[in-house]
Structure 1
C-alpha cells in the first residue's frame, strides 16, 4: 500500500528548489516543474565526516515541505544543523528528491514524535527523520491521511550501498523488519521514478508511522555506516562531490579560510555564518579506510574567550554553538562566568580515531576561534583591517607544556617559524581564574594582513 504517495497534485503555490515562489506561474507545467531551461545546480560538496541522504517526496507535497519563501525548510535546517535542498526533477517525474547533508557522527538521542521512545542518531539521521515527519504532516493536511494509517517512506541509495541494508542472506533487513514492525522492499532501476539516477536503487519502508520511523533510523544508520566509495550520482547527471583528501593547511594562511561549507543558516546577525560557502580545507576523505575496530580516544581542547565576545560564540538560544557542534561532530561546552575573571573557558571534546588525519576537536577549536574574532568585529572590539593583530589563548595541562616546548625550545621555535606567529607560554601567575591551578596558557599573536569580513577571509 502506498497511501502516502498516491495523492493527486494539489492546487497550491509552486516553489523553486530554493523555496522562492516563481514570479511567473505560467512558466510551470501542471505538475509543478519549470518549462524554462535552467542552468544546472552547483554541485554540493560533502565534507569529511558528513553523509548525504536522498528522500523522495511526492510533488504535490513539496511546497508544504519548503514553506512560503522557504521558511519551513530553513527552520528544519536551523533545528537540525543540516543542509537541506530540494532537487529539480524531470517533468515526467511525480516525485522530488530532498537532499540532506549533515555530520554522520552518532552523538545524540532523539525522540520519535508520537512516542516517548528515544533512539541514538547522527545529525544527518535526525534531519532526515524530521523531514519525513514534515512530509507526513503535509500529507495529513493536504490529503486528509488519517492518523494511525499505513504510510511509506522512500530513500534513494547507490547500488553499492544497498547491500549493507539487505545483509548477507537478507539477515540485516529481516532484523530491521522484525524490530521495527515495518515492511521493507528494495526496488531496482526498472521500478524507480524518473528522478532517480541509473545507478540508484530505492529502499521503500511501509507500515504505521512509528514502525516506519524506527525502520528509517535503522536503514539510515546502515547507509551512513557504508558510504559510497565513488562520487554519489544525483539527478540530472550532477554529482554530489566528496571533499578530497588534502594536506593540513599552510600554517601561514590564516584560519578564517577553514570555514565549513554546510554550516546551516542560523538566526543571528552573522552574515558569514548564514552563508558560508567553502569546504573545510583541513578535512580528509569522507570515505575512511581505517580499521573501525581501532580504539577511540578522547581529545580535549580548551580555549579562552573574553566575556564580551562569548555571546557571539554561543548565539541566541545557543544557535551558533549548536551549529558548530553539528558541523564538526565535537562537543562544545562554554564554562560558567567566574568572579574576577574577564574570560570564559570553552571546552571542546571529541572521540577520535588516533590514526585519522581528520580531527573533529581540532576543526571545532578553529571554528570557535574564527567565530570569536567575528564576534569582536561585530561589536567593534576588533577592526578586522589590514595590519590588525589577532590572538588566541589555549589552556593546556602543565604536564603537557614540555611537549610544546621541545628540548631546548626546538619545537616551539619551529612552530613560530612555520606559522609566523608569536607564541609564548604564560606564567602560572597570569593564568585566569576560570582555568585550573594545574593549567597553563599558550598564547599566540599574529598580524592579519588582509581581512574581508563578508567572506570571512584573513590572509597573513
Structure 2
C-alpha cells in the first residue's frame, strides 16, 4: 500500500477487522441491559460488533468495518470503560483514576511491525499519543496471536488505535493465522468416585488416568486452608508471621506441567506467592517428586492454591495434549 494514500483519519477507507480480548465484566458493560449498549454502538458507529459465545472467563469482541466506523466503535468502548471507572470510583476511597485499558489480539506476524526496529515504532506511538502500549512476548495459548495492551485516556487510546490500524494495513499478516479462542470456564468433564469422565454426545466416557490423577491432586488441598489454622483473624495483620515449610508429592509424569517450559510456570508461582519452592531431583525407583514450599502460612497456602489451579488448568486443556508442554 502506498503511504501517501494514508489519510488523516489514520487509514484508507478499507474494511478492517480488529479483535479485542475482554473479561466477562467488561463484556457485560459493552452488551448493556438487554443488549441495548452494543445495539447503540453498532448503530452509531456503523461497525459490525460480534461477541464470542461461550461460558468463558474471557471473550473475543470482533469489530469489523471501514476504518472510520472502527474508530467510532473504539471511541464508544473506551468512553464506556471510562464511565465504568468513574462510577466505580464514586463508591471507593481511591483518589487517583486508573487508566482505561483495552487488549487487542494481533497476529504475531504483525507484531514486529508494531514494535519497529529496536522498538522505534512502539516508542513513537507512546510519545505521540500519550498511551501506554505493551506487546506481549508470548503468543496466546494454542494460537499464533499476541495480546497488545493499550492504556491511557480514551482520547489517547483512540489515537493509538488509529496508528495501529495504519501499521496493520501497511504490514498484512504473513502466513496462516491461528486465532486465539478462549477456553471455556468449565470443561465437559465430570468426576465421580475418583474417576474422570468426558461427555461425548449423551454418554460419559471414562477419561485417561492422568486426568483423574490431576483431579485428585487438585482436590487434595482446599485453597488457603493454612490461613484459618494459623490465625483466625486476618493473616495480613501479623507483620512477621513465622516461616514454615510444607511438603507435597507430585507424580513424575505431572511435574512438567508445574515446572513449565524452561521453568516459567514454577517461577511464576514463586513470584506470585512469595514462597520459596524447591523441587527435589527424581529418586531412582520412585514414581513421585517431592516439592518443598517455605514461607509464611499465607505464602504457602497461596503457592498450594496456584499449584492446584495449575493442575485444574492442565485438566481443562486435556482435549489438546500439545498445550500440555507449551503452556
TM beyond 0.5: no
TM-score of the pair, normalised by structure 2: 0.45
Structure with bigger helix share is 2
TM-score of the pair, normalised by structure 1: 0.33
